[in-house]
Amino acid sequence: MVNVDIVYKTVLYILNKEQRGYLTPDEFNKLGIQVQREIFEKYFDDLNQQLRVPQSDNEYSDRIRNLEEKIDIFKTSADCTHVPANSNFSFPTDLYRLGTLMYEPTGLDFKEIQPINYNEYFLVNKSPLTKPTTAYPVYVLQGTGAPSTAPSDVFVYPNTITSKVKAYYTRIPSDPRWGYSVGSLGQYVYDSTTYGANLLNNGGSLLSSITTNQTDFVNGTYTGTVGVTAGYSTSGAGTGLNITVTVSGNTVTQVTINTPGIGFAVDDTITVTGSGGVLGGATGNLVITLASTDFNANSTYGSTQFELHQAEQTNLILNILMYTGVIIRDPNVVQAATTLVQQDEVNQKS
């Protein structure tokens, strides 16, 4: 795994643009997604090429082994979902390349499902000797007609098989994301919290989500954990949220998330009970109704690291620089980055 913050800051350093004037976080994230996907897809072509040439016996310079190690990061397995209406199975949504499809009815009784085409199925299905059975099942791949990186549906025969179908496959890398908040000087501040679409913004403000405020709170700062600290509660099922409430001029002027917790959802309310002495003995309560912008999915908070092997850090930086040169229309950056990328490819394949 390659640290997204190191890659971004290295790119900025090489561009000599510490103020991020040439490459904003949003631009970097888009380029990062493109470059990671290009490097990942190239693994399979490179592996095919290396299988045709002699290899070194040294364990550290075996190119086939090194490529397989990079691909192994993304190998996984998951159950396929049966769709009764279509008599087929749906693949996991993150499938990129299918390896093996297995029928696993009980315990260690595994049956590999053999791939065939429709014309082959029509032929083998005519004879009792070759007709698919639960002991010798087959499958046919089919797409949905919508744009996709891989077939999304699979028909398993005999169609009496309606469960226990498992795919062993290579998944798609998660999109990298350099998450950030905006500092007091307008600078971008890196948020190292692991991105989660339903995760509250770590270090974010809930001020704009206050739906009930008072004018008789006692000035000061109050910190508590929802569901743990007396006077801090929620209408939802979330836990672990720690916040600091700042009162100035007898009214709440800031609510900062110290620890985002888990399990919170849009429209959940967070109540801080003033009458319990939490806010200095006020007669009313502070009520916060969580909005969509308080969560990672609708903000700039939360980061996702590059999932490629750590050996790819240099390739990531060079390829992002190459695209950056196109964006800023600087041929020198494009030429320098392209030359280094080409030299690296020659060294890897020669």
Residues 183-221 have pLDDT tens digits of 888 889 999 999 999 999 999 999 999 998 887 888 899
Name the token pair of 27: 């631009």
Q: What are phi and psi of 82, to 5 degrees?
A: -80, 135
More confident residue, 145 or 280: 280
pLDDT tens digits, 221-262: 999 999 999 889 999 999 999 999 999 988 899 999 999 999
Calpha distance 85→92 (Å, rounded): 18
pTM: 0.82
pLDDT band at 153 (very low <50, low <70, confident <90, very high): confident
pLDDT band at 322 (very low <50, low <70, confident <90, very high): confident
Average pLDDT over residues 265-287: 84
Output the pLDDT for position 343: 63
Output the pLDDT for position 145: 52
Asked whether residue 6 carries a pLDDT value surpassing 70, the answer given is yes
Is the peptide bond prior to 158 cis by the omega test (within 30 degrees of 0)? yes
Average pLDDT over residues 61-85: 90
Nearest residue to 20 via CA among 178, 199, 163, 170: 178
Calpha distance 22→165 (Å, rounded): 49
Output the pLDDT for position 346: 55
Asked whether residue 3 carries a pLDDT value surpassing 70, the answer given is yes
DSSP three-state, residue 112 = strand
Judged by average pLDDT, the poorest of 105-114, 166-175, 259-268, 333-342 is: 333-342
**Residues 6+ away with beta carbon under 8 Å from 319:** 35, 38, 39, 337, 341
- Burial, 40: exposed, middle or buried (Cβ in 10 Å; 0-12, 13-18, 19+)? buried
More confident residue, 118 or 167: 167
Count the residues in the chain: 350
Output the pLDDT for position 349: 56
Where would I find the beta strands (DSSP E) of 107-195?
A: 109-115, 138-142, 153-157, 165-171, 180-182, 188-190
Calpha distance 241→263 (Å, rounded): 9
DSSP three-state, residue 244 = strand
Which H or E element spans position 223? strand 220-225
